Structure 1
């Protein structure tokens, strides 16, 4: 099967980053199923209430440098054989989603296997440009085995793998991850284990698969107002025109400027890179969309529960350890008040996410079956600080890692390479709003404006 990707804009700069121009072709071979290399448990595997909200695919590409010569013919086979072996330890990934008797998602551990595709490109890997920069998702999605034809969540795979070889000897490992199974820290533990097996090494960390630690309490009780689940009657639709994907670089100097702006009125006395950047992007996006001042707007913040629970979760705990907390205000408040107002909302939302709050959120789903509402919502997810660049399958660590696509209301923060201190923010907006948003991302705009 041959897959084509369209042109991507050509430009690179601090305030708006774009990919390389040109057609890019991939020849994908027949997809196979990679089954665990040994017999594994067959039966139903429990998913916690935290997992129930996360049944969507997250797609990543890991780019590995060429050897300056011909293709490495054994790459796909080494990765495939290692996958079969690591699935013995992570056997739920070889199963499929189904519904339990009480209507919750659960995994049927059938051992049927993980969809695996091999692909070839007649280009050098450099044609991809910098994959940390998301400008033309159709280009990168050729490198991931996607299941866009799925009509409901139970048809989504739990994991997909594609290995694309380039004529220079470089290759791309494209991974589709069902978020109900893992979050990114857990995914990276899985990938590291997979890579260790590919290098002939024993596993450093064995997975702990029992998710019952995060069952709802008996009796379940809701102790907080969980606005993240509440729907807004008045919906602001951003998908009425073409959406553009863009990425923006925030270096240490730009982050220092944002912090200075946030602290200058004395409302807050400190802030982190994540809180100030989340607040800044939320305000800029709301302005760019020209939302009605009386329209409610919501910022959803993905919070890692690992550091919140006592006793701590077991080492290697295999789960999707994300819950959401949120900020709420009107568009008018957000865009007319100083940046410190938005930063304080973000700080308060993060501080709210205690163990009691997390347990209450687990119980909220148990009682109401309510799912996180995304109407009038902007979601931020921090991927910086994760060991993306420690994934050696025998050919060295990846040279670049990035998302193959993101949802229309997401912004993801990714590291700009292994050694860089810059943060790349990727998101999408309607064409008209993106023009305004790009102007607000410029260093000089931040410097001169009263944000």
Structure 2
């Protein structure tokens, strides 16, 4: 198998071997893993790439063998990743864990060096997709493996580890804990955070669900496209860019928010940056004054429950929260208006909210159709997930990136180097809107 792409006037290519299937060294004792309602709320695929240099003593072929052997060992603990997604007569999902093929693992070689790959912070999806393995002919999320791995050896040394993980079985934090456990296993170490694969705390009472929150708060009600937003995306090319906010910039944003409103005594970096991007993006897209604009993001609930989730919980320990107003309210009110809306959306996620969210999805039948996100900005924050820390024996990842960022999504990624402690935001917009957005960012 070979994937090729024109790049700067030349051809860069990645040649793949046929996949082998990695099964856990020991068969799991549980035949199936029941997914929680929180798992059912997330129908998406995570596609990530990690870049590693080698120490000069280990060949890339030997490194690939180490990863393959360690995967078989770590899957004993993370056995759902080797299973297959199934659906029962009620439309609920579960993972069949016994007698499955396992995780497709592909070895590949690139005809270019790590340096030729360049910066992968801003996704060049056609290029980066050559570093992940997607089973040909399987597009339905219910048919594809829950995980695939591809190790691509670069010319002159080093390798890329490309992973696809189904969000139904894991959120970002759990997925990274798995990668770190895989890395520890490769180094012959015991797992520092053994996984807890138990969704019993999210099992709802089907006869008397406790739903105290309106359905629209769970992103069910779609927004009318009164600004012809969809036509902007269809008529113009998408442009992806990154914008860096070092700790000083973030401090200035917080100061601006609190000075503009005497009620704000504290605001986090996430809160001010989310408010800034939501406001600037709505203006960049030239939304009509009465256009509804929604901000949607996930909130980690591991420590928000009265009984916190156990350390190492493997699954989805997040719920979504949102805030909605008109475009005119966003633009005409002070910056602190948007900041307070984001802050309130985070603060409302308490035990009652989580219980209602969980019970609401009890009777929601899974669908592979993505919901309409017209007028919506989705923020995915990776600032508290140390994606580069997995060390398989040759140091931490030198580069890390997402293979694809949907058009409605803005990614918050932790800054490194001299800007450590800051945040890099990455998003895509139609080219005209991106020019408008960049102007707004230049004024910050």
2:383 matches 1:379: no
Equivalent position SS for 1:89: coil
Shift of 1:270: 2.2
2:114 matches 1:118: no
2:433 matches 1:438: no
For residue 193 of structure 1, the aligned residue among 181, 190, 194 is 181
Distance 1:83 1:135, change over 3 A: closer
For residue 53 of structure 1, the aligned residue among 41, 47, 50 is 41
Equivalent position SS for 1:311: coil
- Alignment-derived partner of residue 128 in structure 2: 140
- Bigger mean CA offset, 431-440 vs 318-327: 431-440
2:372 matches 1:398: no
In 2, are the aligned partners of 1:69 and 1:169 still within 8 Å (CA)? no
For residue 256 of structure 1, the aligned residue among 248, 251, 254 is 251
For residue 247 of structure 1, the aligned residue among 242, 249, 255 is 242
In 2, are the aligned partners of 1:51 and 1:180 still within 8 Å (CA)? yes
Shift of 1:393: 0.7
Alpha-carbon distance between aligned partners in 1 of 2:27 and 2:88, rounded to the nearest angstrom: 24
2:270 matches 1:274: yes
- Alignment-derived partner of residue 307 in structure 1: 303
Shift of 1:6: 4.8
Alpha-carbon distance between aligned partners in 2 of 1:304 and 1:23, rounded to the nearest angstrom: 43
Distance 1:84 1:437, change over 3 A: same
Alpha-carbon distance between aligned partners in 1 of 2:416 and 2:164, rounded to the nearest angstrom: 21
Alpha-carbon distance between aligned partners in 2 of 1:24 and 1:249, rounded to the nearest angstrom: 29
TM-score, normalised to structure 2, is 0.91
Shift of 1:80: 0.8
Shift of 1:369: 4.7
Alpha-carbon distance between aligned partners in 1 of 2:407 and 2:223, rounded to the nearest angstrom: 20
2:68 matches 1:80: yes
- Bigger mean CA offset, 108-117 vs 185-194: 108-117
In 2, are the aligned partners of 1:389 and 1:418 still within 8 Å (CA)? no
Alpha-carbon distance between aligned partners in 2 of 1:421 and 1:320, rounded to the nearest angstrom: 26
Deviations 1:84-122 (A, max 9, x none): 111111111111111122111221213321111111112
TM-score, normalised to structure 1, is 0.90
2:316 matches 1:320: yes
Alpha-carbon distance between aligned partners in 1 of 2:404 and 2:284, rounded to the nearest angstrom: 21
- Bigger mean CA offset, 110-119 vs 275-284: 110-119
2:344 matches 1:348: yes
Equivalent position SS for 1:328: strand
Unpaired segments of 5 or more residues in structure 2?
none
Shift of 1:148: 7.8
2:207 matches 1:231: no
- Alignment-derived partner of residue 12 in structure 1: none
Alpha-carbon distance between aligned partners in 2 of 1:44 and 1:294, rounded to the nearest angstrom: 49
Where does 1:152-163 land on structure 2 (aligned, <5 Å)? 152-163=140-151
Distance 1:69 1:315, change over 3 A: closer
Distance 1:211 1:404, change over 3 A: same
Equivalent position SS for 2:21: strand
Root-mean-square deviation over aligned CA pairs:
2.2
Alpha-carbon distance between aligned partners in 2 of 1:418 and 1:188, rounded to the nearest angstrom: 21
Alpha-carbon distance between aligned partners in 1 of 2:324 and 2:137, rounded to the nearest angstrom: 34
In 2, are the aligned partners of 1:228 and 1:300 still within 8 Å (CA)? no
In 1, are the aligned partners of 2:254 and 2:267 still within 8 Å (CA)? yes
Distance 1:136 1:259, change over 3 A: same
- Bigger mean CA offset, 411-420 vs 85-94: 411-420
Alpha-carbon distance between aligned partners in 1 of 2:366 and 2:389, rounded to the nearest angstrom: 37
In 2, are the aligned partners of 1:144 and 1:162 still within 8 Å (CA)? yes
